[in-house]
Amino acid sequence: MPQAGLNGRRGFQPRGKALGGSSAINAMVYARGHPRDYDNWAAMGNTGWSYDDVLPYFKKSEANAIHRESSFHGVDGPLSVTNLRSPSPLNEVFLKACQSRGIPYNPDPNGADHDGCYRVQVTQKDGERHSAAAAFIHPNLDRTNLDVRTDAHINRVLFDQRRAAGVEYRRDDRLGSVRARREVVVSAGAFGTPQILMASGLGPGAHLKRFGIAPVLDVPGVGQNLQDHISALLIYRARIPDHTIGISTTGVARLLKAAWEWRRHRTGLMTSCVAESGVYYRTSPDVEVSDMEMELIVGIADDHGRKQHLGHGYSAHLLLARPKSTGEVRLASPDTRVPPLIDPRYFSHPYDMETLVKGTQIALDIMNSAEFDPYRKDMLIRYDRDDPQQIEETLRDHADTEYHPCGTCRMGPDGDPMAVVDPELRVRGIDGLRIADASVIPRVTSNNIQAPVVMIGEKCADLIRN
């Protein structure tokens, strides 16, 4: 929906409609967030979700090829996590620039310490994407108790009174259904899960009746509490084409060579996740935990790459780690094939703009440091470092999602009227129905959410076993 905080612009919210969900299209960055993120979940009444509680599930899912001796990492899980095989030398320039501004280097932001500048870890195996499907589904396709049905679009959850009895789906324009002996687990993401629940009769009663949907249960929190990282983008044209991805004779030749190298050696430019290094930093010394993150992009990433420019450059994505603005997801139609109405309400809380302006000023200091002098040319979108009002206006014209939506079926304790699931991920008031995806996150973690979502899946499996 048009965003008042973005001067009426509409954002772009793609989802991965494939086995493995959005892990099939994301940037592959493996980042857990700060331990305090999960301690805050527990403090909100979500027993069993503190950092100490969830760390074993992060480790269980992970096969980390680098941090093999660390007590914070797993080495024999199904999901491959490693360093990039062929990172750009521009990352070293970025890391030195961060350190010149007093920010220390952190060899493992998913380990004992979170703050500092770092080289990203990615979900890759043998130089290619290792999605959730590749890790958890493909190796188990021969199991007799697993039936994977692709090209099947979920219409609704089926109920017997207030018990989930199965799901109805559409495949090849024909309706089908699956009955559940024990439980139904919904994992359709921060947009898909609330849409399916509302189309099934679980959601705000008045909203459902407007579409002729008979409520099975009035659940006011379904679709509420939408959270997302809002992202600013600093784009610099490069003086030289070295170490960047670009549209030029040199750039095209480099990509052709990279394709050959990848096919032969599984190394080179084709293994890049584009966002190859980053930094967690604070907008003020009195901020206890980093409230900003920035990642170096080794190319011109205008509008997340949807706007193409000739030549070479590099960019910096900086995101607000813990936004306070919340939005909602609503039905546009009772037909789940029709996209829902998504309203993140970016910048609706004053904290978000105030903090992102400060974070942008610090990011400009890093990107304008002497280390980048041999590479830096003009900015594609100008930010005036010493004019907060100009920065705010530019953010409203250009800021957008960092693709981390969550929270729309949030987890919460008894007595929380907006909680959709309890700490065991069971939908309140309904028997035999759980949710295991980003929608249950009560407060967004401080960076990419792929790793937290995998952790949620691992923990949900244990909850079901128990």
Q: Which two tokens stand for residue 266?
A: 């599984």
Find the DSSP H helices in 219-375. 249-265, 350-367
How many beta carbons lie within 10 A of that of residue 280, not counting itself? 25
Catalytic residue among 34, 67, 207, 404: 404
DSSP letters, 172-231, are TTEEEEEE-SS-EEE--HHHHHHHHHHHTTEE-HHHHHHTTPPPSEE-TTTT--BB--EE
Q: Which two tokens stand for residue 155?
A: 């219409």
Within 284-362, strands assigned E span 292-297, 311-320, 328-330, 341-343
Active-site residue flag, 404: yes
Closest of 230, 244, 265 to residue 315, by C-alpha:
244
Q: Which two tokens stand for residue 252?
A: 């095209």
Q: What is the C-alpha separation between 435 and 390, in angstroms, rounded? A: 43
Classify the phi-psi angles of 25: left when phi > 0, otherwise alpha if psi is within -120 to 50, otherwise beta: alpha
Instruction: For the chain, state the CA radius of gyration.
Output: 22
Residues labelled catalytic: 404
